[in-house]
């Protein structure tokens, strides 16, 4: 059974610092991995999707890496801004089936 863990559970940084969010998963037979952002009381916004054959994806200030063999993904957010404050979730889709397994999320606060 796939288990996804995100550490730390919460993170507070001053504006301008780079953010590093970690996601680990127990079963390396994944189809893809997706990073999401969730604002309080809202749904999820997809940030980056990494296919199992890829090692990283970039979008603007965001960069996500994937090391399937070690069961890890890292989301980097460069030059953080107060607007980046949110909960970040990673989710893994298994090679067989549609199901996404979510991590518990990292709650990020960027202080002005």
Partner 1 sequence: GAVVSQHPSWVICKSGTSVKIECRSLDFQATTMFWYRQFPKQSLMLMATSNEGSKATYEQGVEKDKFLINHASLTLSTLTVTSAHPEDSSFYICSARGEREYQPQHFGDGTRLSIL
The binding site for partner 1 (CB under 8 A) comprises 31-32, 34, 36, 41-46, 49, 51, 89, 91, 98-100, 102-105
Question: Which of 24, 33, 53 is CA-nearest to residue 93?
Answer: 33
Is there a cis peptide before residue 22, judged by omega within 30 degrees of 0?
no
Closest CA to 86 of 104, 64, 108, 103: 108
Of 82 and 104, the one with the shorter C-beta distance to partner 1 is 104
Nearer to partner 1, 13 or 44 (CB): 44
CB 45 within 8 A of CB 62: no
Closest approach of Cβ 49 to partner 1, in Å?
4
- Nearest residue (CB) to partner 1, 69 versus 98: 98
**Closest C-alpha to 21, from 78, 59, 70:** 78
The residue count of the chain comes to 112
Give 44 or 62: the residue with its C-beta nearer to partner 1: 44
Q: How far is the CB of 16 from partner 1 (least distance, A)?
A: 28
């Amino acid at each position: 059974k796939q288990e996804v863990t995100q550490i730390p559970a919460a993170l507070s940084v001053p504006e301008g610092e780079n953010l590093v969010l970690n996601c680990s998963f127990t079963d390396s037979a994944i189809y893809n991995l997706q990073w999401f952002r969730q604002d309080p009381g809202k749904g999820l916004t997809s940030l980056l999707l990494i296919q199992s054959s890829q090692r990283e994806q970039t979008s603007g200030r965001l960069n996500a890496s994937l090391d399937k063999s070690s069961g890890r993904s890292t989301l980097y957010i460069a030059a953080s801004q107060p607007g980046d404050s949110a909960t970040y979730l990673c989710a893994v889709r298994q090679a067989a089936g549609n199901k996404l397994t979510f991590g518990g999320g990292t709650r990020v606060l960027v202080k002005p």
